[in-house]
Amino acid sequence: MPGDPNRPIQSNISRNKLHMRHIKPGATIGILGGGQLGRMLAMAAARLGLQCHVFTPEPDACALQVVPRRTVASFSDKAALRRFASDCDVITYEFENVPAETAALLASRKPLFPDPRVLKTTQDRLIEKNFLQALGIATAPFAPVETAAELNQEIDSMGLPAILKTRRFGYDGKGQALIRNRKDVAPAWQRLGGRPCLLEGFVKFEREISVIVARGRDGKAICFDVTENKHRHHILQMSLVPARIPQQIDAKARRIAFRIANAFDYVGVLAVEMFVVRNARGRTLLVNEIAPRVHNSGHWTIDGASASQFEQHIRAVAGWPLSKPIRHGTIRMENLIGLEPDTSSKRLAAPGTALHLYGKVAARPGRKMGHVTTIVRVAR
């Protein structure tokens, strides 16, 4: 059915992969990237009797502490990538800025999930927004901007406040500048200009939510309960589950996540960040961003659900059936950001808390050092 947004865009590669046999316990999953997401993926894989081989350019990457095999090399080191591929049965990644050539080389040798074509869309905010628009999914107003003159033109038609974002390599508010009034325009352009940018209308949202969806190789998709997120200085500070949203918005958020995962013919875990906007006609949803990987707002699932986002991702890339996760109750997840986590804090001894520290060598402002999950109320 041409034009049907729910129709998967399947390449021959992904069609073949769908029929590829699942891997067996004891097999090796390669993970590109060595941060905390890779670490928690490897820990989930170990619990499932699978081994992980982490490929990272950083010798002190925290995922290396929990895996039996490692490659510390640049993502452009072809010989190292070939050796890595030959050691793995299937390969995945924990961050979305994997260079296209790295992904292509690995995909030519071993099954790589999710399909590298997804990266092309999600690495560039403009391509991502166009993709969402083509699926009929609402976003904040946006316009590409390449020169200072274009920026001023777009501000004339979009109005202020607005946010200038670099099209590529932005995360946790990096590569973003809020433009409140005309005085902010020149400093924002000075800071970010010179690179292709996107101007986005500022959304006065009621709350931010995310949906973590897992999709298996057989195309079956399951999402976790919708999560409400609070950010501070653009960095996720806290997640609450279930999100405090009406039932029809909850259902709509899930439908949007399924639609995106199906359109990508996705295999693995995907996160969709959304704004809940309230106006005179009621509430509506705008998608802010797609993360083609496990996501910080899904960390609550480790202690707050019967199967975590990390287990779901490993199951999906291994070709195993997905779990139908059951939430243990009302859950709160708080990030430990910047400073050395205070392990003597009384808060950690409160009933229902679980502490996760990522083993990072140095604390820096804004750096995610760990998180605490609290089961606030047990499900009955």
Backbone torsions φ then ψ of 244, nearest 5 degrees: -85, 75
Tokens of 62: 């925290």
User: What x-and-dash track marks residues 89-128 binding ligand AMP by CB under 6 A?
Assistant: ----------------------------------------
Closest CB 125 distance from ligand AMP, rounded Å: 8
How far is 238 from 335, CA to CA, in rounded Å?
6
Residue 175, SS3 per DSSP = coil
Residue 55, SS3 per DSSP = strand
Closest CB 178 distance from ligand AMP, rounded Å: 8
* Strand pairing class (90-93; 176-179): unpaired
How far is 19 from 10, CA to CA, in rounded Å?
13
**Cα separations (Å) of 105 from 78, 81, 85, 112, 117?**
8, 8, 9, 10, 13
Residue 231 interacts with ligand AMP (CB under 6 A): yes or no: yes
Closest CB 162 distance from ligand AMP, rounded Å: 8
How far is 118 from 114, CA to CA, in rounded Å?
7
Q: Which of 28, 123, 227, 288 binds ligand AMP (CB under 6 A)?
A: 288
Residue 227 near residue 240 (C-beta atoms within 8 A): yes
Closest CB 30 distance from ligand AMP, rounded Å: 27
Q: Which of 48, 73, 126, 203 binds ligand AMP (CB under 6 A)?
A: 203
Residue 200 interacts with ligand AMP (CB under 6 A): yes or no: yes
Residue 173 interacts with ligand AMP (CB under 6 A): yes or no: yes
Residue 140 interacts with ligand AMP (CB under 6 A): yes or no: yes
Closest CB 197 distance from ligand AMP, rounded Å: 13
Fill in the DSSP letter of residue 380.
-
Q: Which stretch binds ligand AMP (CB under 6 A): 18-26, 145-153, 202-210, 255-263?
A: 202-210
Residue 163 interacts with ligand AMP (CB under 6 A): yes or no: yes
Q: Which residues bind ligand AMP (CB under 6 A)?
A: 140, 163, 170-171, 173, 200, 202-203, 208, 231, 234, 273, 288-289
